[in-house]
Structure 1
Amino acid sequence: MTTIRKPPLFKLFLFNHLAVIVLAVLAFLVNADWSLSILCGGLIQSLPQAWFNYQAYRFTGASQLHNILRAMYWGQSGKIMLTAALFVAVLVTVKPVEPLALFGAFCAMILAHSVLAAQLMRAPSAVR
């Protein structure tokens, strides 16, 4: 019997946050406001994504199908609400915020997360 292996969520979470921190440090050399906005934009994407990943991959096996579907719906709705709440919190409290850096980092982290997840899932299990 074969099972579908769980994705390496901790590695994904770690690499995403390392990428955000490196980008923020590099941007700090140019402009501190951009650095903070990049850090906030990256975290706005990665923290709700981590919530979804936790919810979506808690259960395994065909007998857990009902729990898996419920957890995915709960994870996705929580992800959307967390993303909206974090955007509001950052736009209200962080002054000055650079919108281009904030939304650019958010979009870049979506793309980076997708590419990294695909690469980690394709890697042979012996490498992990």
Structure 2
Amino acid sequence: MKKPPVLRIAAVQLLLVSLTSAVLHLSGKPVMALSVLIGGALCALPGAYFGRRAFRDGGARAAHRVVGNFYRAESGKFILTMAGFAGVFVTVKPLNAAALFISYGLCVIVQWILVARMVR
């Protein structure tokens, strides 16, 4: 069974936020550019962790391990995301919170779209 392309999805997300961030930075909005980049990374990196952790095992004989891996992967993704947001709000000054959350939300939508297209 072929493993899902989770790292490709994270790479596409990071590429999109990097390009958007570069355009914003070049147009004279460095705080917004950094906020967009961080928001995208807070979505893509825990998502990549989830994918790598959840899909380590495969096959019918490993069903019990697969279920356990999914629970651990989702818990780890949640912890990484929450710790990432907390760390950003404590350490990054100045920060455009709206740009951070919008970028995060758009990355989640991009992830859904890419997963839906790859599942077909």
TM-score by length of 2: 0.93
Q: Which runs of 4+ in 1 moved over 3 A?
A: none
Structure with the higher fraction of residues in helix conformation: 2
Whole-Å Cα distance in 2 between the matches of residues 59 and 20 of structure 1? 31
2:7 to 6, 10, 16: 10
* Distance (Å, rounded) in 1 between the aligned partners of 2:7 and 2:94: 32
How far apart are the structure 1 equivalents of 2:5 and 2:51? 10
Which consecutive residues of structure 1, in runs of 5 or more, have no partner in the other structure?
123-128
Q: 1:31 matched to which residue of 2?
A: 29
Q: Distance in 1 between matches of 2:15 and 2:115?
A: 15
Residue 8 of structure 2: SS of its match in structure 1? helix
* Residue 41 of structure 1: aligned partner: 39
Q: 1:82 aligned to 2:71?
A: no
Q: CA deviation at 1:119?
A: 1.7
Which deviations, in whole Å up to 9, do the C-alpha atoms of 1:27-55 show, x marking residues without a partner? 21241000000001000111111111011
Percent identical pairs in the alignment equals 33
- The question of 1:119 aligning with 2:91 is answered no
Alpha-carbon distance between aligned partners in 1 of 2:10 and 2:41, rounded to the nearest angstrom: 11
Question: Distance between the aligned counterparts of 2:28 and 2:68, measured in 1?
Answer: 45
State the aligned residue count: 119
RMSD after superposition: 1.1
TM-score by length of 1: 0.88
